[in-house]
Structure 1
């Protein structure tokens, strides 16, 4: 009998795409939280506010990546137990990971409030936007608990094959966010602080909605009194997957944060261009990122069910799909780079537009590299080798950071060197990941 959310049965490509589509839409909507702030702030307040929100977003992503990494790692464990049909282990792992990530959230929240100013100074935030960025971040991190709750339950539902439900609550919260953005900024004139308040309220709505749904409609995922214990084996498994995935996400975003600091040193115009271009970038490769996450759930369930033949077929199908889609998106971004920048930047900001277009046409031409890398991350995480995902992340981001600082220091190259370092990092990690899959795992018969 086919269980709800079972990815170990049925056609492979169709199953993957049907499972991925709601995740893609959900990721698109989640991007809209900051996109709405960036677009409305950039058009209604100005370039300084745009630079502040864009730079704040990079810091937010780095800090929240700790929670997302823990949730993703836990989700892999949930998928493995669900695929194996072990309901007791599933419920106990849900309880253990919820407590673990909740404690980390509390520690992270306190740390942010204590060290926010030293972090902003380290990032070389220009004096003219320092106070705006600080106020925005202070409010945003007052709602970090909502980020934890929503992403934990979204990861749980996706792990058991339900990628649709998180989408509905996210959709409602995004609409609420945009409406509150317009009300607080245009009607109440709260400025950049209004955008932050709107985001926190909207995230709170998503968190509350998904918790109520999970409690009422998925009783098999609700832990019982005898599940509320910290079994050593369960804790070890959760800690292993969650910590390594957390490290992977943190390393990834630490590298991006270091790049942000380098970009900031080139001034407000480059900061604003980078802020807008990164939003476009996020949208462009977001579908293959979510495809990689869906692929990871697919592999994990089949790995738990020992369906190794299905895993090999899934790998081939996923790689072809990711490459074709990435090439198509690269062409679109290259051709429409300038109109895309104009969505976020006023037409009279010629310097900002020119810098953003250069970024998109260099980096955007190589989305195939990041598409393959997302699949490799998901695959190694799902087959109980999250350490390999960390290795690939370090290779990719390490190359990008070192190359960026080296090239940007050359007057004849400048900021363009930062853009070229990105696809080079992707390529190196892809080559290593594919080589390991073919020659090491292949030799083992994995």
Structure 2
């Protein structure tokens, strides 16, 4: 069902909206973890390393899917907040057609560049073939991943976070089952892990798109004029949000690939230990990302409705929830770090286990810090402050890569782990400071609408803000960053 995030208490609206998102995150991580878990437990540490090594490269392509999800979701939410159903449907049509073209191009590029990328990150010869086969199969199903992300972004924009959760829950459980059947029963090795993901993503994408079209048909729009297949004005609006999000995630992925290369140089044991630890780390961090995404859509709907004060109230409630989630994961990973790593590594590889435990003990105490950044970034994204949000992300990334390169020499692999908290400690104050600056200016809106202000004026002002930000995004002085 659709949820209007422009009414009611902000903290209550965010909580009700994000609860299914938390469930979705859990199952999304189960989906991602399943490949590594099955590879590590039923094949061995080398297979775990191969899947983990390949996964870092898939994140480059996932970055595009994530950016398209965010761009489509934020613009759809803006039109939905304005009660402009024609705008909602035009946004959906535009996003689906353009993303299909993008998927075809990126699939071709990915299949052609897989081997060079694996060589670039110094993949250990022991795991090279498995990493290559995993990536080739995974990238063959990229169109399913991108389509699914577009569909779930649209559900989220309409205030419906339950439907994506249900799809993801069923798909994740199915992926685990198919993984085990292909690997343990059919002895397909790492290729079995990849084929399981391919099949389950395909089914999820088809079902999500079908349900999305049914949902949209139930939303009446004014006038008899047909919905445009591709609206270039709306495509520009989506791009203003999506491109910085893609760049953000892509640069993060590039940074992670560089760091993966540093780790690979220590050997397959280091790659395997890191693969286990980063999956656990991602579970914690992406749980807070649910709040960040919730704040994006909450902010976008309230921008469309001309209600900046609700955004200011909502962010602090979201930060409080993020702190609680972060502390729970910190307690679990600090107290049970070795048992958690051993869930993935069962062949007694002490070096790999020790590597994973060391990562968790260094990084997890700083989860509260990164939670603040993620939520502030989500708010900046939802209010179309894309340049601000991009700057903070680049600072985090550059510091992490720089300190990994510097500290790995005197401290070994432990120095690489310290690059995470150092980057977070510097980037988080920047993110929150940029949010405060935007909030001080009411995100470009004059003031909170009073009962005397008409809905038409609020809508016109919201359109003006989007137009101004789009113009800023192509201004020469902004170089190649977008706001």
| TM-score interval, smaller chain | over 0.9
Q: CA deviation at 1:235?
A: 2.2
Aligned to 1:256: 256
Q: Which runs of 5+ in 2 are unaligned?
A: 444-483
Counterpart residue number, 1:345: 345
Tell me the SS of whatever aligns to 2:74: helix
Residue 269 of structure 2: aligned partner? 269
Query: What do the CA deviations read for 1:2-37 (whole angstroms, capped 9, x no partner)?
Result: x93101112222221221111111122122223111
Which secondary structure does the structure 2 equivalent of 1:227 belong to?
A: coil
User: Matches of residues 161-240 of structure 1 in structure 2 within 5 Å?
Assistant: 161-220=159-218, 226-240=226-240
Cα displacement string for residues 125-160 of structure 1 (whole angstroms, at most 9, x for unaligned residues): 011110011011111111111101111100000011
In 2: Cα distance, 1:393 partner to 1:221 partner: 37
Contact 1:322 1:371 in 2 (8 A): yes
Query: For residues 151 and 220 of structure 2, what CA distance do their matches in structure 1 show?
Result: 11
CA contact (8 A) 1:214 1:221 kept: no
Determine if contact 2:370/2:424 at 8 Å carries over to the other structure: yes
Q: Is the 8 A contact 2:315 2:376 kept in 1?
A: no
State the match for 1:396 in structure 2. Answer: 396
1 CA distance for matches of 2:442 and 2:74? 22
**d(CA) in 1 for partners of 2:52 and 2:195?**
16
Query: Is residue 444 of structure 2 the alignment partner of residue 444 of structure 1?
Result: no
Aligned partners of 1:326 and 1:368 also within 8 Å: yes
1:385 Cα shift?
1.1
The match for 2:68 is 70
Query: 3-state DSSP class of the match of 1:344?
Result: coil
- 1:173 Cα shift? 1.4
- 1:22-41 equivalences in 2 (<5 Å): 22-41=20-39
Distance 2:133 2:320 in 1: 45
Question: 1:92 — aligned with what?
Answer: 90
Which residue of structure 2 aligns with residue 115 of structure 1?
113
Structure 1 Cα separation of the partners of residues 128 and 261 of structure 2: 13
Which sits farther off after the overlay, 203-212 or 156-165? 203-212
For 1:327 and 1:181, how far apart are their aligned partners in 2? 32
Q: Which residue of 1 aligns with 2:291?
A: 291
CA drift at 1:221: 6.1
Match of 2:458? none
Contact 1:73-1:244 within 8 A present in 2 as well: no
The verdict on how the C-alpha distance between 1:98 and 1:429 changes in structure 2, with shifts beyond 3 A counting, is same
- How high is the TM-score relative to the length of structure 2? 0.88
How many Å separate the matches in 2 of 1:5 and 1:128?
51
Residue range with higher mean Cα deviation, 352-361 or 222-231: 222-231
Which whole-Å CA distance do the structure 2 matches of 1:250 and 1:363 have between them? 22
Paired with 2:301 and 2:442, the residues of 1 have a C-alpha distance of 19
Quote the Cα distance in structure 2 between the aligned partners of 1:241 and 1:363. 30
Partner Cα separation in structure 1 for residue 48 and residue 117 of structure 2: 19
Partners in 1 of 2:204 and 2:442 — Cα distance?
Answer: 43
Structure 1 stretches lacking a partner, 5+ long: none
Normalized against structure 1, the TM-score is what?
A: 0.95
User: Residue 43 of structure 1: SS of its match in structure 2?
Assistant: helix
Q: In structure 2, the residue corresponding to 1:170 is in which secondary structure?
A: helix
Distance in 1 between the 2:418 and 2:98 partners?
Answer: 39
Asked if the contact 2:388–2:434 (Cα under 8 Å) also holds between the matched residues in 1, the reply is no
1:210 is displaced (CA, Å) by: 1.0
Q: Which residue of 2 aligns with 1:14?
A: 12
**Structure 1 counterpart of 2:57:** 59
For residues 200 and 135 of structure 1, what CA distance do their matches in structure 2 show?
13
> 1:41 Cα shift?
1.1
The whole-number CA distance in structure 1 between the counterparts of 2:50 and 2:220 is 41
Rounded to whole Å, the distance in 2 between the matches of 1:25 and 1:370 is: 20
Could you tell me how far apart the structure 1 residues matched to 2:95 and 2:132 are?
Answer: 31
Per-residue CA deviation, residues 314-336 of structure 1 (Å, 9 max, x unaligned), is: 12211222223322321221111
Structure 1 residue 302: deviation in Å?
0.8
Structure 1 residue 229: Cα displacement: 4.2
| Structure 2 counterpart SS, 1:64 | helix
8 A Cα contact 2:85 2:220, kept in partner: no
Pair 332,239 (structure 1): closer, same or farther in 2 beyond 3 Å: same
- Report the aligned-residue RMSD: 1.7
- Would the aligned equivalents of 2:259 and 2:401 in 1 still touch at CA under 8 Å? yes
Match of 1:103 in 2: 101
1:342-397: CA deviations, max 9, x gaps?
A: 11112622111111111001001100122111112111111111122111110111
1:420 aligns with 2:418: yes
- Shift in Å, 1:226: 2.3
